[in-house]
Amino acid sequence: MINIAGVVSIVLFYVLILAVGIWAGRKKEHGNDSEEEVMLAGRSIGLFVGIFTMTATWVGGGYINGTAEAIYTSGLVWCQAPFGYALSLVFGGIFFANEMRRQGYITMLDPLQDNFGERMGGLLFLPALCGEVFWAAGILAALGATLSVIIDMDHRTSVIFSSCIAVFYTLFGGLYSVAYTDVIQLFCIFIGLWMCIPFAMMDEHVGSLSPSVVDWIGEVDESQRWYYIDYGLLLIFGGIPWQVYFQRVLSSKTAARAQILSYVAAAGCILMAIPPVLIGAIAKATPWNETNYKGPWPLTEQETSMILPMVLQHLTPDFVSFFGLGAVSAAVMSSADSSVLSASSMFARNVYKLIFRQRVRADYVTPTQSIFLRNKIII
């Protein structure tokens, strides 16, 4: 049976996010639908909002749920995502942020199209699109699993509803809406998860968190060393060529600020990983067969993938678990809206405009040429 109080809490949270998104969309200059205004918020994102939106984009539902799962199944040493993502932001700031912002690009595909041609650059949109689709699917699946555990809502319904909300306010205000809702969402993630931890730790079924009692640190076997290194390099260098990252970099007021955003967001990723790490350790120290959990024991792979919502559901009071649910929902929304905007930005600029609508190139022609183009005269 669906938990009505939980549904009400999640609806109220979505109403808040939608209201903030619509309000932020009004900051967009009236009548100005240029690429820079819609895709990059007129390159006017301040340092405070920029840091929050950069951090919230990386700290998604998959990030939170996956961190807790990694701690429970393999230990802290195998939880490489927080450190890998943080290093990718640092390397992106060192090698790419300053130059990309200084050149005034709109998307990360722009320099590739300048060097290899418009059609080749458009072809490179396909792997970028696949990355966005798989990333969005992963974080929405995390939300669906959380809602199904805590409030017994059908995961398909929750995914569709959340996606529609994110798409709506993103369509309304572009990067303005995405960035300002990220500020609210990051606060919700931080407060919601930290609120759950004391209640979960004080539950009577939770044992000692000492690594000498419960091994939530883990170890890397000699046979797994190269796999461990390969996985770490994938996280570090695979996180750099991501339009979501460069969209924040290119929206900064200056190139120097773009670098600062990268470095501070790297620290933010580490900081935001602490609550799910503790939740994973708490789950590791819990004999689940002694709680009101009725599933298989020891936990199967399907159950361990939902370890964070299980802690919220079985080790915290209902009103506290609803705050945790809001935190997971905020994490999902903060990443889903960014993926929608980044994929649509690359398609609109680097595929549709530069390949299929080559005559409509206002950013690349002089005012005199624009007059001829409007009269359909090819120059």
Residue with the bigger pLDDT between 122 and 30: it is 122
Asked if residue 251 belongs to a domain, the reply is yes
75: left (phi over 0), alpha (psi -120 to 50) or beta: left
d(CA 205, CA 168) in angstroms, rounded, equals: 43
Asked if residue 207 belongs to a domain, the reply is yes
Q: Is the pLDDT of residue 368 over 70?
A: no
| Cα angle 375, 377, 379; round to 5 | 135
Mean pLDDT, the chain, rounded, equals 81
Asked if residue 253 belongs to a domain, the reply is yes
Percent of the chain with pLDDT over 70: 89
pLDDT at 31: 61
Site of tokens 């009577």: 204
Band (56; pLDDT cuts 50, 70, 90) = confident
Of the candidate ranges 46-50, 131-135, 174-178, 353-357, the one whose mean pLDDT is the lowest:
353-357
Q: Is the pLDDT of residue 137 over 50?
A: yes
Here the CATH number for the domain that contains residue 73 is 1.20.1730.10
Q: Which of 311, 316, 175, 336 is nearest to 252 (CA)?
A: 175
Alpha-carbon distance values, 82 to 115, 236, 239 (Å) = 33, 10, 11
Asked if residue 166 belongs to a domain, the reply is yes
Give the pLDDT confidence of 315-337 residue by residue, as tens digits.
888 888 877 777 777 777 767 77
pLDDT at 266: 94
Asked if residue 379 belongs to a domain, the reply is no
pLDDT at 355: 65
Asked if residue 183 belongs to a domain, the reply is yes
Q: Is the pLDDT of residue 366 over 60?
A: no
Band (263; pLDDT cuts 50, 70, 90) = very high
Q: Is the pLDDT of residue 19 over 60?
A: yes
Residues 6+ apart with CB under 8 A from 73: 304
Q: For residue 239, what are its two tokens?
A: 């996180």
Give the pLDDT confidence of 31-40 residue by residue, as tens digits.
666 777 778 8
Q: How many domains does the chain have?
A: 1
d(CA 51, CA 46) in angstroms, rounded, equals: 9
Q: Which domain holds residue 63?
A: 4-374
Asked if residue 104 belongs to a domain, the reply is yes
Q: What is the pTM of this model?
A: 0.83
pLDDT at 260: 92
Asked if residue 16 belongs to a domain, the reply is yes
Give the pLDDT confidence of 347-362 residue by residue, as tens digits.
888 888 766 665 554 4
